[in-house]
Amino acid sequence: MYVLCAPCILNPSLRAEGITNPSDLVLFERCIDRCKKFGIEMVPLPCPETLYLGARRTPGTYLDRLNFPEFTTLIDALAEEVKKIIDTRGPPVCILGVNSSPTCGVTSTYYGKSGDASPKRAGRGVFLKKFSGIAAMDVTIFSQYHVYLAAPLFSEAERTYNASIAGLLRNNLFDVFLPQETGDDSETRNKEGQAKIFADNVSALKNSDILTAIIDGADADSGTSWEMGYASALGKKIIALRTDFRRSGSHEKVNLMLEESSTVVISKEKLLEAIKSPLLLKSDA
C-alpha cells in the first residue's frame, strides 16, 4: 500500500520562500505519522516548480510564473514518469496534495489573476490534473485521523457493536480511542476509578481530530451526549451514527441540539463517507 504525495510534505524546503508556516509543518508531520502507523509507503512526486524555477524562488501563481510552453513540456514528461511508477506498483491509495499550490493543489490552486476572476480557483493544480483518474486528498484532511468513538458501553451488545465500528474505522486508516478498551467497565467504577476514567476520556477528546458518536436508542445516551457537547465546544468535527429509524420530532432524527452540532448519518457506509476515508475517495475522472 502506498500514496503518491507532493514532495514538499516530505521535504518542506522545496516550497517557495516564506510560505511555510509552523501549522503547515504540523500537518505534514501528521500525514507522515498516519502513513507510518498504518504501513503506507509515501512515494514523492517530482516537484515541477523546483525543477523549472529552482529551489530558491519567491511565491507566484501559475499564470505569473509557469504559463509557458517549456513548463508544459516539463510536466508532461514528469507525468509520464509517474505513470510508469503506477504501472509498476499498481494504483496508489490516493495522491496527497497541498491546497493553494499552483501545481499540487487538490481542491484549490493559485492559478492567477485573469479578468474579474479571483487568482485562487477551485480545482486541482496543473500537475495533479495530469492524474485526474486517481483520487486526491489535501494534507489538511488526511492529517485528521485521530477519532474518539463515543457510545454507550453498558451491555455486551453495545460493546460488541462499538468494537465493530472501531474496527471498521481502523481498517479505513483511522486511529481510534474507544473508552471500553481503556478499562471503562463495571470493575473500575469506584470513586478513584471514575475520576481516572473522566480525566483519560477528556484528554483523549482534546487530542482527537474527530468525534464519532453512536446515538441509537429512544434517546441518545447521556454520557455520549455530554461528549458530543464537549467536542462541539472544542470546535471538533462531530459525526453521529444513528441507525435507529425512530425520530425525535417532525424534522429531527434525534435531539435537536445533538443534530445541529453534528453530521448525522444512518449507516456505516455513510459514516465512512462523512469521515472521509482515504480508501473510499473518488477520482475526478
Q: What is the pTM of this model?
A: 0.87
| Distance between first and last Cα of the chain | 22
Q: What is the DSSP string of 71-107?
A: HHHHHHHHHHHHHHHHHHH---S-EEE-TB-TTT-SS
Contact status, residue 59 vs residue 20, Cβ threshold 8 Å: no
Three-class DSSP category at 264 = strand
Spell out the per-residue pLDDT of the chain, length 285, in tens: 999 999 999 999 999 888 889 999 999 999 999 999 999 999 999 999 999 998 888 888 999 899 999 999 999 999 999 999 999 999 999 999 999 999 999 999 999 887 777 888 899 999 999 998 999 999 999 999 999 999 888 788 888 999 999 999 999 999 999 998 887 666 666 777 788 888 899 999 999 999 999 988 777 888 888 998 999 999 999 999 988 776 666 666 677 777 777 888 989 999 999 999 999 887 665
**Ordered structural domains, the chain, with CATH:** 2-142 (no CATH), 146-280 (3.40.50.450)
Three-class DSSP category at 4 = strand
Alpha-helical regions (H) of 172-262: 191-207, 222-233, 256-260
**Phi/psi of residue 281, each to 5°?**
-65, 145
